[in-house]
Amino acid sequence: MSRHLCDDTDARRLLNPGPVAIVTAAWRGMVNAAPIAWTAPLSMAPPLVGLVIHPHRHTADMIRFSEEFAINIPPPALMKQTAFLGSQTGLNTNKIEAAGLETFSGMRIDAPLIDGCLAWIECGLQDVIAVGDHTLFVGRVVRVQALDEAYAGQWLLKDPAFSPLTYIGGATYASIGRARDAVVQTDAQGALIIETAEEREQREEEEARERELRQAEGDEGFEEMSVR
Ligand X SMILES: Cc1cc2nc3c(=O)[nH]c(=O)nc-3n(C[C@H](O)[C@H](O)[C@H](O)COP(=O)(O)O)c2cc1C
Instruction: Note the residues at the interface with ligand X (CB under 6 A).
Output: 20, 32, 34-38, 52-54, 57-59, 82-83, 86, 88-90, 167
Taking the least distance from each CB to ligand X, the nearer of 6 and 69 is 69
Taking the least distance from each CB to ligand X, the nearer of 13 and 57 is 57
Q: How far is the CB of 45 from ligand X (least distance, A)?
A: 26
Taking the least distance from each CB to ligand X, the nearer of 85 and 147 is 85
Residue nearest to ligand X (CB): 86
Separation CA 193–CA 187 (nearest Å): 6
Q: How far is the CB of 144 from ligand X (least distance, A)?
A: 20
54: amino acid identity, one letter: H
**Could you tell me which residues are beta bridge partners of residue 22?**
35, 72
Q: How far is the CB of 171 from ligand X (least distance, A)?
A: 8
**To which H or E segment does residue 21 belong?**
strand 21-27
Neighbour count for residue 151 (Cβ, 10 Å): 24
Q: How far is the CB of 46 from ligand X (least distance, A)?
A: 23
Contacts of 136 (CB under 8 A, 6+ apart): 50, 51, 52, 127, 128, 129, 130
Taking the least distance from each CB to ligand X, the nearer of 32 and 103 is 32
**Secondary structure class of 58 (helix, strand, coil):** helix
